[in-house]
Every structure is written in C-alpha cells, then in structure tokens.
C-alpha cells in the first residue's frame, strides 16, 4: 500500500499530539488540528486521504464538520471518534457518509486498522471513478 495522508481533528491537545506521534511512528503521514474550522481551512489547501474526526468539539461540532467535509471532498473517508456515544449523532454521522465510529479511548492498533480500511475504500472509490470516466 502506498503512503497516504491522515488528518486528526480533536480539541484535546494531549490526545491529538499523542495520536499524531504514534501514527507517525507507524510510518503514516499524519497531521493534527484542533477544530472543525481549522480542518476545513486545511482541506482547502491540501489533500488528505482519511480524516479522524472528534464528534464533540466546541464551535463547529463533528457532525457539522463532517457534512462540510463530505461536500468538499466526497471521496475522502472520515472516521468519527466519540467519547460519549449518542445514538442520534451516530445515525446522523453514518447517514452523512462517515466510514465508521470509534469509541474513545481509541486503541491505536484498532484505529490504524480502521484507517487502513478507510484508505482502501477511498482507493476503490477512485478506481471506480476513473473507470467511469474511461467508459463515459
């Protein structure tokens, strides 16, 4: 699998730092930002393959951010991260096209596995779009 870029969005600085560091240690090109607004601004300028997004953040919350992200980059996959699972937000997130939900505290290997699967899905999706273009 080729290198891919991951963006972590979480308002807890400790968590953010740790997870970015641990992903980098596993040779994943990971970056972190601490709010939905920052994430969207970064997405305007750069391309990411997978986003890991906290559901509960002050300001723009995870669901709102997800909606906007999917509008901007429909093929990019988003994994939602939640500490206090609410069924309602889970349903909303899945319907908006989230790849998966993960409960906090997230086990790093589990998260890594989900990121890989999300990336695989994104690649499949891109392949399909390319095929469609060739046929169309």
Q: Would you tell me which residues interact with other proteins (CB under 8 A)?
A: 1-2, 82, 84-87, 90-91, 94-95, 97-103, 117, 120-121, 123-125, 127-128
**CA–CA gap between residue 52 and residue 102 (Å, rounded):** 9
CA atoms within 13 A on the CB side of 2: 3
- For the bound state, the minimum distance from the C-beta of residue 101 to other proteins, rounded and expressed in Å, comes to 5
Pick between residue 22 and residue 67 the one whose CB is nearest to other proteins. Answer: 67
- For the bound state, the minimum distance from the C-beta of residue 45 to other proteins, rounded and expressed in Å, comes to 26
Contact 32, 9 (CB under 8 A): yes
- For the bound state, the minimum distance from the C-beta of residue 114 to other proteins, rounded and expressed in Å, comes to 9
Pick between residue 46 and residue 86 the one whose CB is nearest to other proteins. Answer: 86
Pick between residue 34 and residue 65 the one whose CB is nearest to other proteins. Answer: 65
**CA–CA gap between residue 37 and residue 26 (Å, rounded):** 27
**CA–CA gap between residue 4 and residue 132 (Å, rounded):** 23
């Amino acid at each position: 699998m080729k290198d891919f870029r991951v963006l972590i969005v979480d308002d807890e600085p400790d968590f953010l730092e740790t997870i970015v560091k641990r992903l980098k240690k596993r040779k994943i090109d990971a970056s972190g930002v601490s709010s939905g607004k920052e994430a969207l601004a970064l997405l305007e300028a750069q391309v990411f393959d997978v986003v890991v997004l906290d559901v509960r953040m002050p300001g723009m919350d995870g669901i709102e951010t997800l909606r906007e992200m999917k509008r901007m980059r429909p093929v990019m996959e988003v994994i939602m991260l939640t500490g206090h699972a609410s069924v309602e937000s889970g349903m909303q997130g899945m319907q908006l096209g989230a790849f998966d939900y993960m409960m906090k505290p997230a086990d790093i290997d589990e998260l890594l596995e989900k990121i890989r699967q999300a990336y695989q899905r994104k690649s499949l999706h891109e392949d399909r779009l390319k095929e469609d273009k060739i046929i169309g």
